[in-house]
Structure 1
Amino acid sequence: MSRPPSRRRRLSPRYLVAAVVAVALAAAAWVWWRGAAERGDESPWRTVQVERGDIRVAISATGTLSAISTVTVGSQISGQVTEVLVDFNSQVRQGDVLARIDPRTYEAQIEQGAAQIASARASLAQAQATLRNAELDYRRKADLGGRQLVSRADVDLARAALDQARAQVAATQAQIRQQNASTETARVNFERTVITSPVDGVVLTRTIEPGQTVAASLQAPELFTIAEDLSKMKIELAVDEADIGQVKPGQPVSFTADAFPDRQFRGVVDQVRLAATTTNNVVTYPVVVSVDNSDNTLLPGLTVNAEIEVSNRSDVLKVSNAALRYKPVGDTAAPQAGGGRGGAAMLGELERVAGELDLDQAQRAAFDAALAAQRQRAEAARQSGGQRGPGGGQGGPPPGMMIRMGQGGGDAGMQAQMRQRMLERMQESFAGFTRTLNPEQRARWDAALVSALGATRVTLYKLVDGAPQPVQVRVGASDGTSTEVRGGVEAGDVIITGERARR
């Protein structure tokens, strides 16, 4: 009896494939829908926030380590080296014997000079005896001549003999002095056969061996090089002309050497030398950095990579450099220095500086009066429609004259003239106030005035309620990534750096 067919049937592979495809399409649709929703909410601006932090500005340069004082020891005489008492890296003290040269030649010269001096002294004794005889003969003949007992010619001959005897004595005495000097020269050369160290230090190089002949003719041959006190060393850095204006003595320097890759060393700028060097049309200036090497780790001749810290600003407002470069389409405004729209900001900066000068009541009143007068002139100039500086009228540049920096800026010479003109007018406007300051306060005020007039101001675009709002700030130090800003921004403000591509 046969079994009835089962009602359960297996699913066809075609249905399985269709189900998988349907699930995949649904997932893709969901991902696309979510991305579209996110894109719809995405801001059209690329932004960064104003942050508070530190900015360190450093100049990179390479150089070579060397001893602060290196002495080359040579030989002033010629001869054969008989003995060398030091080697490379030998520690020596002043007066220590380094080498000896065969002294026999100079010993013989000293003996020869002594003999010549003895001979000259014997000649002197003979000349003195002849002189005494000539003096007696002249006296006798002069007495007889006075009594008309001898002829006048005999008296003259006696006088001439006396003069000759005196001249012979003088010549012999000069010969003795000459022989003494010659013998002293031989004695000095004899002492120079012993080469001694002129300083305390360490021997860096030695160029002679026992038995070698030293020939000192027009130039003293170099025998040893001694580095004096390697506990203090120096680096000679080659700094580019574009950066040399920022380098000042006393600035800290950090550097590394390939010989010690895991260590960082420190030094201080000691000197900025004026002897410029031009190589392949690149002008560099030597900067000397003093280094403490009390642990004797560093070695002379090492090549180092150094960074000179020219500025270190702590706890300042900073923003990405991309924000400084952003300009909306159609905005061609260039960064400004001193005048223009930055006048109010500059006066605010001067007011801040005045608040740090510990002014008394009379000084504060003088400053407030000068500041109010300056602002009135600026307001009058603004209402008249002229583009004037912070002084307006007599305190800023003439109408239409705007100092600009960067792209689109004017001639550098004109910019310098405008700054100088504005400085003179601002000094005139605040002359009554500055006369009330003591020397220290006046120095700080003058420095702040120069800094404010020379400062560069740029326009940033702050994102407020989804729309860009221009604000002008004064820029300061930059480390290549971020730049210090002061003015109409605070920490946390959102600054536009660019626009997103529309889809």
Structure 2
Amino acid sequence: MTRANGDTRFEHALDNVPNRKRLWVISSSLLIVLAIAGGAAYWISRDFRRIDHGLRSSGVASVTAPAVIVAVTVTPIKATVSGTIDAVYCEVGEFVKRGQLCAKIDPQPYRLIVEQGMAALGLANSSREQAGARLARAQAAYARNQKRAVRRSTAANVLEVSQRAVELRKARVLREEASVARAKQALRVAQINLENTDIIAPIDGIVASRTVVAGNEVINGVSEPLFTVAADHGAVEIVASVSEAVVDAVRPGDEVLFSLDLMSNQSFHGTVAQLALSRETIDGAKRYDLVVTAPNPDLSLKPGMSATIRMTIGRRDDDKAAR
């Protein structure tokens, strides 16, 4: 029998297999596909089934989710010069004071520019002094020629030439003074850039995040903040990624418990503040950011800490009324 060119290798292989074996191969392939699909469906729907089972059997369901503590408001620390990070001195969760050194950008290129600026300013000052000396000599010559002109012992054109020389020397002095001003400005910019290789904390607070390590390249105006610092750490947010099943059963204002991975034997109380669609997906299933707010009077909750949220979800009065 002649086959079309579009037949697959699988179809050709089946031609060489007896009918019974052929049926077995097709059945096995279908079972594998169904198993994969069933496994994906299981992982995607397990939150739904667990919560639904709890609600049906006892009216409540328990949910746990990994989370991270973040600051409510933060102040970014950005690089204002470009370069290579030489060292990092501040870590997430650390208390810092305003002006404290948190990181250092390699200062050598900027130190070289400062040295070049100082040399340029020295040359500009020297040129201005020379121009000033020439002006002084021209003014003295003009004064002598004026006296001679009064006694008529010098020609009028000589006086005019000396006057013109004074005007030229004055113009030269003004140009040299402008050069000095530009050199001073360039040197000041170079000194500021050198100072800005020190990455310092702008406020007192707790380091909420850090994005760099020694050796990283940073670009002024392009790189993300190197650090963020939380000034008001009397309250924090706990952010967890949860499934749509949890979102359907939770409302803002719900009370939740959470514990820190470092202190798992101690529980903290918080309140659901926000539920928002996340960019993250798992096996194609939507994920949501569950944001919980919590007081932090003793400052034991620091940004960056890992936590676990525990919620007990029950049927609501408004849900029952709807039924």
Q: Do the structures match in fold with TM over 0.5? A: yes
The equivalent residue for 2:234 is: 231
Structure 1 counterpart of 2:84, from 73, 80, 83: 80
Distance 1:94 1:182, change over 3 A: same
**CA displacement at 1:124 relative to structure 2:** 1.7
Structure 2 counterpart of 1:155, from 133, 147, 159: 159
Q: Secondary structure at the match of 2:90?
A: coil
Contact 2:71 2:208 (8 Å CA) reproduced: no
The equivalent residue for 1:92 is: 96
The equivalent residue for 2:53 is: none
**CA displacement at 1:67 relative to structure 2:** 2.8
Unaligned runs of 5+ in 1: 1-63, 237-252, 270-288, 306-478, 482-503
Contact 2:256 2:271 (8 Å CA) reproduced: no
- In the alignment, the residues of structure 2 paired with residue 65 and residue 255 of structure 1 have an alpha-carbon distance, to the nearest angstrom, of 18
Distance 1:303 1:160, change over 3 A: farther
After superposition, where does 1:209-358 map in structure 2 within 5 Å? Answer: 209-216=213-220, 218-219=221-222, 221-233=224-236, 255-257=254-256, 259=258, 264-265=269-270, 292-296=295-299
Q: Deviations over 1:407-457 (max 9, x none)?
A: xxxxxxxxxxxxxxxxxxxxxxxxxxxxxxxxxxxxxxxxxxxxxxxxxxx
The equivalent residue for 1:187 is: 191
- In the alignment, the residues of structure 1 paired with residue 148 and residue 254 of structure 2 have an alpha-carbon distance, to the nearest angstrom, of 99
Q: Secondary structure at the match of 1:149?
A: coil
After superposition, where does 1:355-394 map in structure 2 within 5 Å? Answer: none
Distance 1:82 1:66, change over 3 A: closer
**CA displacement at 1:190 relative to structure 2:** 1.0
Q: Secondary structure at the match of 1:229?
A: coil
Structure with max Cα Rg = 1
Q: Secondary structure at the match of 1:222?
A: coil
- In the alignment, the residues of structure 2 paired with residue 190 and residue 174 of structure 1 have an alpha-carbon distance, to the nearest angstrom, of 24
Contact 1:65 1:303 (8 Å CA) reproduced: no
- In the alignment, the residues of structure 1 paired with residue 268 and residue 139 of structure 2 have an alpha-carbon distance, to the nearest angstrom, of 90
After superposition, where does 1:121-200 map in structure 2 within 5 Å? Answer: 121-200=125-204
**CA displacement at 1:143 relative to structure 2:** 2.4
The equivalent residue for 1:276 is: none
Q: Deviations over 1:311-335 (max 9, x none)?
A: xxxxxxxxxxxxxxxxxxxxxxxxx
**CA displacement at 1:258 relative to structure 2:** 6.0
The amino acid that maps onto 1:73 is I
TM-score calculated relative to the size of structure 1: 0.37
Contact 1:200 1:229 (8 Å CA) reproduced: no
Aligned-residue identity in percent: 27
**CA displacement at 1:75 relative to structure 2:** 0.6
- In the alignment, the residues of structure 2 paired with residue 209 and residue 480 of structure 1 have an alpha-carbon distance, to the nearest angstrom, of 51
Q: Secondary structure at the match of 1:195?
A: strand
Distance 1:188 1:480, change over 3 A: same
Distance 1:109 1:263, change over 3 A: closer
Contact 1:255 1:264 (8 Å CA) reproduced: no
The amino acid that maps onto 2:115 is E
**CA displacement at 1:104 relative to structure 2:** 0.9
TM-score calculated relative to the size of structure 2: 0.55
**CA displacement at 1:176 relative to structure 2:** 1.6
**CA displacement at 1:158 relative to structure 2:** 1.1
- In the alignment, the residues of structure 2 paired with residue 143 and residue 85 of structure 1 have an alpha-carbon distance, to the nearest angstrom, of 73
The equivalent residue for 1:67 is: 71
1:107 and 2:111 equivalent?
Answer: yes
RMSD: 3.9
**CA displacement at 1:290 relative to structure 2:** 8.4
The amino acid that maps onto 2:230 is A
Structure that is richer in helix per residue = 2
Contact 2:85 2:216 (8 Å CA) reproduced: yes
**CA displacement at 1:215 relative to structure 2:** 2.1
Distance 1:149 1:255, change over 3 A: farther
Contact 1:201 1:230 (8 Å CA) reproduced: yes
Unaligned runs of 5+ in 2: 1-67, 240-251, 260-266, 274-291, 311-316
After superposition, where does 1:455-470 map in structure 2 within 5 Å? Answer: none
- Report how many aligned residue pairs link the two structures: 214
